[in-house]
Structure 1
Amino acid sequence: MMGELVLSAEDLDMVVQGLVDVCEEFGAACAGPPTLAELLEILGWAVPDDGDYVDGSFASPLPLSATLRGGQRYRSEQPSRVGELNDHVFVDAQDLNIAVLQRICEITGAPATPQQFAGVMLAALRSGRVRPADTCGSDIGALTAPRARYARKTTPGDLFAIPVGPGAYRIAVVLIRNQFGTAVGLFEGRSADGQASTGILGSPRPHPVYTDESLIKNGTWIFAGHNTDVLAAFPADPEIYHAPHVWEEIDIDTGEFGAAETADGRMRMIDSSEARDIGLTDNSYRQCVTAEHLQDLLSAE
């Protein structure tokens, strides 16, 4: 039987301190604390969507929405700086989230739901010790997290049709899921019916993209089959790239032109040609792009 979710003072202190630590790391990187929107964005990106302690309905990333007391929906007026952060902030946020989800599971005797997770975070935000730049915790009336509508767990080789216009789709294949996100391989050409034809699958793009699964979970990206043969056209362990000299203050060398890193932390220096091809030279490269933004980019091609 599922028990009631009642946090002890010790449990709440753990969550509050974790959020304070995430805010302090953000402040060190961005010269100031996060807005509430930025903090919720970080937490959403850092939620694991599978594991024995979650119920299978967590979107990736988890869209957390705040409502202020009085019923007004919270919106930030500032552009997000989350894309500028290094991995350390997300790793610490993920450690916190996993601890929270496991504790919910222990207390209730059942896997955690998105709304239970949101409820714990709301309690911590209302403590007064977590101080976003633009909101007082006591002003937050509610925090919501919708359940994902697509519960199927993706596996390497899953193909998806991404709508890019009337009667037009781009095909993507899931390569791997790790702490960077979900890596997908893309193919040249458009499909008129959303089918992954032999011709399209024979034209892979060289660089995978890390993204989230939100548009898979809500059904926008349409499942188009499963084909593990095409995985050989892409790196088995897709890398993310770092700009040159970006981590000098913590004595991590990212080279003259930049560096590539695998999920297990292996780093290799890249040359000017690779930096130009990937988009480091003109600053167009992003380590991870939201599914919505990726779809917009593909639609504009």
Structure 2
Amino acid sequence: MELEEALKLFNRVADAFSDEEGVSPSLGEFLEIAGSSEPTNSAFSFPLAFKVKIAGNRLYKANPSERVSGLNDNTFNEATELLAFLIEHANSDSDQPASPADAAGHLLQVLRAAKFSFSDIGSENVVDLTVKVSKRFAKAKRGDVVAIPAAEHGYHLAVVLSDDQTGLALGLLKGVFSAPRVGRVDQHLARHIPVYTGDGLIKNGTWRVVGHNEVLLDLFPDPPELYWGAVTAFGDRFGDYGAAGVVGEPKRLIGKAEAEAVGLLNNTYRQTYVDEYFQKVLNEGRFDNGPLPGTFR
């Protein structure tokens, strides 16, 4: 590995952080940034969670910090360049694609050589760096933020609103994001009324839980509603245009404009989507033009 070039890239990450925050990052903050900065040449999934041993064979424990979530994209872009460089050189070292362990090993070399003073520890005191591997199926809970791969590049983000017998209710956030991270909460807007789907793609790692922020729940109705047509398959009647509500609870009748906006009048509304199909139509733009939460209430 060209260590001198890697050190330059590392310093650019640290400088970008300190330029924005006015102080150096902690080791934990740096690793959180690095673990969230997925380059396009990676054959494995991000985010990465690191396990760190420091001098004296002690485990490093990061102090809680909210600064990373408030950073703009510049620091993450610099970290992506660093990770891309490390993975490129890890790939050249073998005829197999670089693994998370390879990336961690190269990053350890950089930290040891940098002799950088993080706000809580010197980088030369890091003696081992590995990637934590989860042996459990991922399960999302209310307030978790899920990253869904976009068609070309980047990610859609959605906050988990509920997970019950109806399915997994997601609140889609507006936009496509270059990195799978929440970032500043105040930058986010709702894209569409809540959508129900399954959690299979979370369990197999295709959709990844990349954060947790319950403030985002305020962008969507609680509880997330479903819609029923004016006449259901079971013969129930809901006014002239249909109803909204939750299973087992009283429904509210809706007007023509709301029924048309959600797709009841042209039969395009679905109460729930199979997760693979949901990702397909999400990438086709099905949910890009609303309706937005609160439009009709």
Report the TM range for the smaller structure's normalisation. 0.5 to 0.7
Deviations 1:48-99 (A, max 9, x none): 3x64xx443x3x2111221112221111335241112111111111112112
The whole-number CA distance in structure 2 between the counterparts of 1:205 and 1:14 is 42
What 5-or-longer segments of structure 1 have no aligned partner?
1-6, 151-159, 165-169, 237-273, 278-301
Gaps of 5+ in 2: 182-200, 210-272
Residue type at the aligned position of 2:18: G
Percent identical across equivalent pairs?
A: 19
Alignment partner for residue 122 of structure 1, among 108, 124, 134? 108
Matched, 1:38 2:24: no
Go from structure 1 to structure 2 and tell me whether the alpha carbon gap of 1:217 and 1:14 turns closer, same or farther (over 3 Å shift): same
What is the Cα-based RMSD across aligned positions, in Å?
A: 4.2
Verify the 8 A CA contact 1:114 1:147 in the aligned structure 2: no
Q: 1:217 aligns with which of 189, 205, 212?
A: 205
Report the counterpart of residue 47 of structure 2 in structure 1.
61
Q: Kindly indicate whether residue 169 of structure 2 is the aligned counterpart of residue 183 of structure 1.
A: no
Structure exhibiting the larger radius of gyration computed from Cα positions: 2
Q: How far apart are the structure 2 equivalents of 1:66 and 1:93?
A: 18
* Among candidates 207, 211, 234, match of residue 287 of structure 2: 234
Looking at structure 2, the residues matched to 220 and 184 of structure 1 have their Cα atoms a distance apart, in angstroms, of 10
SS of equivalent residue, structure 2 residue 59: coil
Q: Secondary structure at the match of 1:100?
A: helix
- What is the CA-CA distance between 1:107 and the residue it aligns to? 2.2
SS in structure 1 of the partner of residue 113 of structure 2: coil
Q: Deviations over 1:20-56 (max 9, x none)?
A: 11111111100110000011011111133x64xx443
Q: Name 2:20's counterpart in structure 1.
A: 29
Post-superposition CA distance 1:224-253 (Å, at most 9, x none): 5421346644228xxxxxxxxxxxxxxxxx
Aligned length: 203
Shift of 1:208: 4.3
Per-residue CA distance 1:129-178 (angstroms, 9 max, x = gap): 4321111122212111135779xxxxxxxxx98455xxxxx9x8946277
Aligned 1:50-199 pairs, distance under 5 A = 51=41, 54-56=42-44, 58=45, 60-147=46-133, 162-164=140-142, 174=148, 176=150, 182-185=155-158, 190-192=163-165, 194=167
Letter in structure 2 aligned against 1:33: S
- Distance in structure 1 (CA, Å) of the matches to 2:17 and 2:48: 19
